[in-house]
A and B are shown apart, each in its own frame.
Chain A
């Protein structure tokens, strides 16, 4: 009965021949949500570009130091850490470069996931006014993070020169760990956002979790100092293989093996897959909840 009704209305709808260019929106026709979301993101790629541009331009426009701010935070932290810990971990070659390479990857992950969550969870009023694919906002937050990460390679290379860590040709591989890190961050950001739509305090919990995560990851200390019996636990730290891959190509100057690449790829791909899937299925709720 209901389907008959729909058919009869369809015959009354504007004939498609006279409205060739008119897009038809039908709320009942939805493909697979995961693919639908992907298709729309591709359709709105100009929006992603504009949003990244907005974030970068707006951030640097009014500050005297401009782009330097991106580099200042990890640099300052590196200096403090070096002063505090260099006696403790003096065995690490080029310790400042070691810390800085860890800090900029962590800063990227921390800022990107937080920015994604912020834009999706608090952007509700905006999303009620106009239709935009929500994942475009998440991807643009990731894009901004990538730009900042590439910028912070400059002080890293500077520090490497100063502390005499050789810059080797393996550095040309650096886009690979950055890509994997970006996918990982996007996946985590989408997943946390999907939960935070229902429970905003998850955002606070995530900040606490991030702090703990930072200290249990060998970012500012060498992996050697972790007691033998705790090492197997590191397998569950999915950030670590990505961090290791990044350090490998830039700080250690080694070409990654296939195993290194594959494990990092799997972590990035699976995380992104889960995050994307959950978000695509829950993103309709954002407008309902705010």
Chain B
């Protein structure tokens, strides 16, 4: 079950307008340009030969093309569009794993990219060791993780296995541990990708409750999904990306309706 779909029933509350609150994500005239060689030429030898012959040519592929948008504090902001529209690239820019080729991205506040859930987990290490490793990858120091360790394991409900190697865990248990570490400290901005599933139904509800409490306490959520109903119900506003361009931005319902009728 997808997290984004599972979020639906919980967020049937009225959409609050939040355009007065401060901007926490600002994307200004952003272009991301990949240079793709015209012919597949991934070896140095080939490159050297062609270079000498003066035959190196590149195609430019615009993953994002002068996109500008801003997200306000506390908003649930949806990104929609077909595959290859640039949604993931935009998430990467906000998560700062990628820099724009042109333009500027400003993000205020700490970001918890749920795309990075369980990043760097090692199967040979115990759950405990992996919590410290994963925490360090998320940028927390040993002391902070040590202080919050009990809470993390409590939430993941993994006390019985915490000193066993991760290879003995089921995939649901690994996901639970990853989610517990990634969301232990309330993020100001939460990035949720739809291809996210966390454990069994009971744990899914628990993790949704946590995300919801973040939202209530003022976290901003950036959501990517193909589920139009989810966007309609959950998001305050949405942006429709198409081939790297911003087609439409506005109230979620309007954008979804336009998108579906296009």
* Residues of chain A at the chain B interface (Cβ within 8 Å): 2, 5-6, 9, 12-15, 19, 22-28, 43-44, 46-47, 49-51, 53-54, 57-58, 61-62, 126-132, 195, 199-202, 205, 284, 287-288
* Contact across chains for A6 and B44 when beta carbons are under 8 A apart: no
* Contact across chains for B45 and A201 when beta carbons are under 8 A apart: yes
B65 at the A interface (CB under 8 A): no
**Cβ contact of B124, chosen from A2, A46, A61, cutoff 8 A:** A61
Q: Are A57 and B129 also in contact (CB < 8 A) when A26-B106, A130-B138, A200-B42 are?
A: yes
Bitwise, B140-166 to A at CB < 8 A (1) or not (0) is 111000000000000000000000010
- Interchain nearest-CB distance for A137 vs B (Å): 10
B139 at the A interface (CB under 8 A): yes
Q: Are A287 and B109 also in contact (CB < 8 A) when A9-B23, A129-B116 are?
A: no
* Contact across chains for A26 and B24 when beta carbons are under 8 A apart: no
Bitwise, B10-28 to A at CB < 8 A (1) or not (0) is 0000000000001110101
Q: Are A199 and B122 also in contact (CB < 8 A) when A13-B23, A27-B93 are?
A: no
Complex Cα distance, B107 from A129, in Å, reads: 17
* Contact across chains for B132 and A12 when beta carbons are under 8 A apart: no
Complex Cα distance, B121 from A58, in Å, reads: 11
**Cβ contact of B113, chosen from A22, A130, A284, cutoff 8 A:** A130
CB neighbours (8 Å) of B100 from chain A are 27
B168 at the A interface (CB under 8 A): no
* Contact across chains for B125 and A54 when beta carbons are under 8 A apart: yes
CB neighbours (8 Å) of A61 from chain B are 124-125, 165
CB neighbours (8 Å) of A199 from chain B are 42-44, 47
* Contact across chains for A19 and B119 when beta carbons are under 8 A apart: no
Bitwise, B85-128 to A at CB < 8 A (1) or not (0) is 00000001101111110001111111101011001101011000
* Contact across chains for A50 and B23 when beta carbons are under 8 A apart: no
* Contact across chains for A47 and B136 when beta carbons are under 8 A apart: yes
- Interchain nearest-CB distance for A43 vs B (Å): 8
B188 at the A interface (CB under 8 A): yes
- 7 A-B Cβ contacts within 8 A? A12-B23, A13-B23, A53-B133, A61-B125, A130-B97, A130-B115, A199-B43
The 3 residue pairs across chains A and B that have the minimum distance between CB atoms: A130-B116, A14-B22, A199-B44
CB neighbours (8 Å) of B196 from chain A are none
Q: Are A13 and B108 also in contact (CB < 8 A) when A46-B142, A58-B124 are?
A: yes
Bitwise, B24-59 to A at CB < 8 A (1) or not (0) is 101011000010000000111101000000000000
Q: Are A24 and B95 also in contact (CB < 8 A) when A15-B22, A130-B113, A200-B42 are?
A: no
Complex Cα distance, B136 from A128, in Å, reads: 17
* Residues of chain B at the chain A interface (Cβ within 8 Å): 22-24, 26, 28-29, 34, 42-45, 47, 70, 73, 92-93, 95-100, 104-111, 113, 115-116, 119-120, 122, 124-125, 129, 132-133, 136-142, 165, 188
CB neighbours (8 Å) of B139 from chain A are 43-44, 47, 132
CB neighbours (8 Å) of B116 from chain A are 129-130
Complex Cα distance, B92 from A49, in Å, reads: 26
CB neighbours (8 Å) of B99 from chain A are 27, 284
Q: Are A27 and B97 also in contact (CB < 8 A) when A126-B119, A130-B113 are?
A: no
* Contact across chains for A57 and B28 when beta carbons are under 8 A apart: no
* Contact across chains for B104 and A22 when beta carbons are under 8 A apart: no
Complex Cα distance, B44 from A205, in Å, reads: 10
Complex Cα distance, B26 from A26, in Å, reads: 9
Q: Are A46 and B22 also in contact (CB < 8 A) when A126-B119, A201-B43 are?
A: no
Complex Cα distance, B100 from A205, in Å, reads: 32
Closest-by-CB residue of A relative to B96 is A131
CB neighbours (8 Å) of B110 from chain A are 22-23
- Interchain nearest-CB distance for A77 vs B (Å): 27
- Interchain nearest-CB distance for B98 vs A (Å): 5
CB neighbours (8 Å) of B111 from chain A are 25
* Contact across chains for A28 and B108 when beta carbons are under 8 A apart: no
* Further pairs besides A27-B104, A129-B115, A201-B43: 8, Cβ < 8 Å: A14-B22, A22-B108, A23-B110, A54-B133, A128-B98, A129-B95, A129-B119, A132-B137
Which of A49, A199, A287 counts the most B-chain CB atoms under 10 A from its CB? A199
Complex Cα distance, B106 from A6, in Å, reads: 10
CB neighbours (8 Å) of A53 from chain B are 129, 133
* Contact across chains for A287 and B125 when beta carbons are under 8 A apart: no
**Cβ contact of B23, chosen from A14, A23, A131, cutoff 8 A:** A14
* Contact across chains for A13 and B26 when beta carbons are under 8 A apart: yes
* Contact across chains for B125 and A26 when beta carbons are under 8 A apart: no
* Contact across chains for B105 and A27 when beta carbons are under 8 A apart: yes
Complex Cα distance, B92 from A127, in Å, reads: 10
Closest-by-CB residue of A relative to B70 is A9
* Contact across chains for A288 and B109 when beta carbons are under 8 A apart: no
* Contact across chains for B108 and A9 when beta carbons are under 8 A apart: no
Complex Cα distance, B129 from A195, in Å, reads: 34
- Interchain nearest-CB distance for A288 vs B (Å): 6
* Contact across chains for A47 and B137 when beta carbons are under 8 A apart: yes
- Interchain nearest-CB distance for B182 vs A (Å): 9
**Cβ contact of A131, chosen from B70, B97, B120, cutoff 8 A:** B97
